Amino acid sequence: MLSASPSPDVVVIGAGIVGAACSYYLARAGMRVQVVERGFPCSGASGACEGNLVLWDKAPGAELALGKLAFECWDEVQRTLDFDFEFDRKGSIMVCANERDLEEARRTVAWLSGEGVRCRLLTPEELFEEEPALARDLPGGALFPDDAQVEPRLATVALLEAARRLGATLETEVEAQGLACSPDGRVQALRTSRGAIPTGAVVIAAGAWSSEVGRRFGVEIPIRARKGHLIVGEKSPGFIRRKLVETGYGDTVESSDAGLQVAMVAEIAKSGTVLIGSSRQITGYDTRVDPFVIQAIARRAARFLPALRQMKAVRSYAGLRPFSPDHLPLIGPVGPEGLFVASGHEGAGICESTATGLLISQWITGQPLALPGEWFDPRRFARGPGAELRVPGPAS
């Protein structure tokens, strides 16, 4: 038996940022929490990504509401936790490549302003004043001054450490393998590679592997891995200030196409390291870097930031985003009583992790939910064709 006495109230599977946030909010709510991780913290997507907290990529309704809740949670977490995880409200700029993009930026600014998100269009002159490294022929952009950035690995470790200080425990190199339930269908224990852990609640926060964990538990969790590559450029302090994203990035996020899609994103870490993305493709669970994809990313990014052609790439890597069929995460109960899932955030899991942790803690402790539970109901896919609807939020 793996667990210390007394048994945990909740076992969280996965020590990526979503599992870390669930364990923090659950421990804060007074739960005895144990995290089991088959590798080490951040061995999944949370260790192979960027750390942007942005709202402009959220769809109207449920997704934007989750993003706004996450922003509130991040504000509170960064004020409360005694850790520097490089939280920086640096703002982001949507960069337009042509007149069509400009039209799209106009629409985005109009609807997000209506939702209370601070943003405004930038003329070409204002764009270059903000970011002098951008190509001179770009027709403009849109500024989102409240978007922020964290260092995702530090943020994950900060949430895990904060949970530990509240009594949570973390077991690494322990794989969740099965579930033991009572005859009336309640969770009784988690079976792991190092023995059973008696518990009344289990949270699957296994990122792109959540479907594999679900299968072991006899539960359908329709999450696939969506691969993304990143290039790390040499340290270039001041090269850019804000997070930069081309307008077409939203289309790659919204698309369900399995083929390769590339859109420019660029940011600079506190250390001065430049991060260049992005790619999306569904190719299984292989995280090897594909030089063809790296070249495609570099070419696209240089269209917007010509000086990149001279910048040295230090390394590149790829991670697996947990991709849900309707582009919304799965947060809430699934299968036997006591089983929950917190996964499927695709390219927004760093941003949405805090709100997800809060909602999971509210589900498990029976507190009122901060957002309607049906919006992210993991059981929505089991209801047959037509059930995979985007759930409209209050203002849409």
Ligand X SMILES: Cc1cc2nc3c(=O)[nH]c(=O)nc-3n(C[C@H](O)[C@H](O)[C@H](O)COP(=O)(O)OP(=O)(O)OC[C@H]3O[C@@H](n4cnc5c(N)ncnc54)[C@H](O)[C@@H]3O)c2cc1C
DSSP 8-state secondary structure symbol assigned to residue 233? E
CA distance to 38, 99, 104, 127, 305, per residue, from 142 (Å): 42, 13, 10, 8, 17
Q: In what helix (H) or strand (E) does residue 315 lie, and over which residues does it extend?
A: strand 313-323
- Give the count of beta carbons closer than 10 Å to the beta carbon of residue 174: 21
Where does this chain touch ligand X (CB under 6 A) — which range of 33-41, 110-118, 295-303, 361-369? 33-41
Place of tokens 């190719």: 283
Smallest Cα–Cα separation from 153: which of 50, 243, 79?
50
Q: Is 52 in the site for ligand X (CB under 6 A)?
A: yes
User: Which of 46, 211, 281, 354 lies at the binding interface for ligand X (CB under 6 A)?
Assistant: 46
> Given candidates 202, 345, 378, 381, which one binds ligand X under the rule CB under 6 A?
345
Question: Least distance in Å: CB of 103 to ligand X?
Answer: 25
Among 10, 12, 48, 189, binds ligand X (CB under 6 A): 48
Per DSSP, the three-state class of 302 is helix
**207 near ligand X, judged by CB under 6 A:** yes
Q: Measured from the CB of residue 351, what is the shortest distance to ligand X in angstroms?
A: 4
Q: How far is CA 382 from CA 136, 196, 251, in A?
A: 50, 29, 27
Nearer to ligand X, 73 or 351 (CB): 351
| Binding residues among 146-205 for ligand X as defined by CB under 6 A | 175-176, 205
Restricted to residues 86-145, the positions that interact with ligand X (CB under 6 A) are none
Under the binding rule (CB under 6 A), the answer on residue 67 touching ligand X is no
- # chain residues binding ligand X, by CB under 6 A: 42
Q: How far is the CB of 152 from ligand X (least distance, A)?
A: 7
Shortest Å distance, C-beta 281 to ligand X? 11
In terms of Cβ atoms closer than 10 Å to its own Cβ (0-12, 13-18, 19+), residue 238 is exposed
Angle at 343 between CA 281 and CA 279, to 5 degrees: 20
Nearer to ligand X, 102 or 298 (CB): 298
Taking the least distance from each CB to ligand X, the nearer of 32 and 345 is 345
Closer of 36 and 157 to ligand X (Cβ)? 36
Q: Which residues contact 291 (CB under 8 A, 6 or more apart)?
A: none
From 12, 17, 143, 190, residue interacting with ligand X (rule: CB under 6 A): 17
Distances 114 to 60, 139, 148, 221, 362 between C-alpha atoms, Å: 11, 24, 20, 35, 29
Instruction: Name which of 233 and 277 has its Cβ closer to ligand X.
Output: 277
CA distances in angstroms from 274 to 117, 135, 246, 391, listed in the order given: 27, 17, 16, 37
Indicate the burial class of 5 (C-beta count within 10 angstroms; 0-12, 13-18, 19 or more).
exposed
For the chain, the straight-line distance linking the first and the last C-alpha, in angstroms and rounded, comes to 50
Please state the closest distance from residue 192 (CB atom) to ligand X, in A.
7
Q: Which of 43, 188, 236, 365 binds ligand X (CB under 6 A)?
A: 43
Considering only 36-44, 136-144, 251-259, 377-385, which stretch makes contact with ligand X by CB under 6 A? Answer: 36-44
- CA-to-CA distance for 232 and 235, rounded, in angstroms? 9
Candidates 8, 33, 44, 287; binder of ligand X (CB under 6 A) is 44
Residue 277 interacts with ligand X (CB under 6 A): yes or no:
yes
Is residue 349 at the binding interface for ligand X, with CB under 6 A as the rule? yes
How many residues are listed for the chain in this entry?
396
36 binds ligand X (CB under 6 A): yes
Q: Which of 38, 68, 153, 224 binds ligand X (CB under 6 A)?
A: 38
Residues 280-339 that bind ligand X (CB under 6 A): 319, 321-322
Q: 375 and 90 in contact (C-beta within 8 Å)?
A: no
Q: Which residues bind ligand X (CB under 6 A)?
A: 13-19, 36-39, 43-46, 48-52, 175-176, 205-209, 213, 228, 230, 277, 319, 321-322, 343, 345-351
